[in-house]
Amino acid sequence: MNLFSKMLLLVLFASNANAEPASPPPSQGAAAKQTELNASLMQAARQGNANTISALLAAGADPNAKGKVADIHSKGSNEAWMESALIAAADKGHVEAVKALLAGGADPNQTGAMGATPLMAASSHGSVEAVKALLAAGADPNAQLVFGGSALLLATNAGHEEVIQLLITSGAKVDVRLPTTGDTVLALAAKKGHVNAVKALLASGADVNAKNNEGKTALDLAKTDEIKALLQKAVAK
């Protein structure tokens, strides 16, 4: 490199060092703002702050934006559900936050990790009012996770009897099975000892004779004498 070229490089370096930082293109600035709004919306949803959610939506936050699972994992919590603000709010049982997001255009049937829906999250949590709000907004009670399983299965597993009844009344299929064992919802309720859930499922036509992967029925798996009596009566019909 000759002397002129070296001097030219030095001049260019000096001018760049003293120059003001270049402003990002308008499109990049808008994208950054949108990302910030969406991240704030997710945080407000986790905290259940409905007023902040409404303000952020009015400012342009996307009610259906999804976050990366890795960005929102939290040790010791069920954050695997949380790929959207609505799923986050439903999973925490923040009813007013759920309502604010739905009012702001959030899709009640959006899916997150493993196909989880807001209704599944609310059903697993046991939030009756959140489940009601989601069903009223058109949430599908029969949506399934990618590996199987539904809102009714999740509610039954946790023993949330009022949620179970709500889902059944809203058309949830009662003979959905656990993908791992082949247990029906009725068998799961019987095994867990949820007597009122068993009553509701029997009243809704659940198949009392259905067998799981090991050839066992709900009666075979029943945990309590009361449940066994209910199932025996149903079998005898």
pLDDT digits (tens, 9 = 90+) for 19-51: 444 545 556 788 889 999 999 999 999 999 999
Mean pLDDT estimate for the chain: 85
Looking at per-residue pLDDT, the higher value among 207 and 82 belongs to 207
Dihedral sign (CA 12, 13, 15, 19): positive
pTM, two decimal places? 0.82
What residue ranges do the domains of the chain occupy?
141-237
Q: What is the pLDDT of residues 126-160, one digit of tens each?
A: 999 999 999 999 999 999 998 888 999 999 999 99
Which pLDDT score, from 0 to 100, does residue 68 have?
Answer: 61
Please say whether the beta carbons of 179 and 148 come within 8 A: yes
For 1, the token pair is 């490199």
Query: Under CATH, which architecture does the 141-237 domain have?
Result: Alpha Horseshoe (1.25)
Residue 123 or residue 20, greater confidence: 123
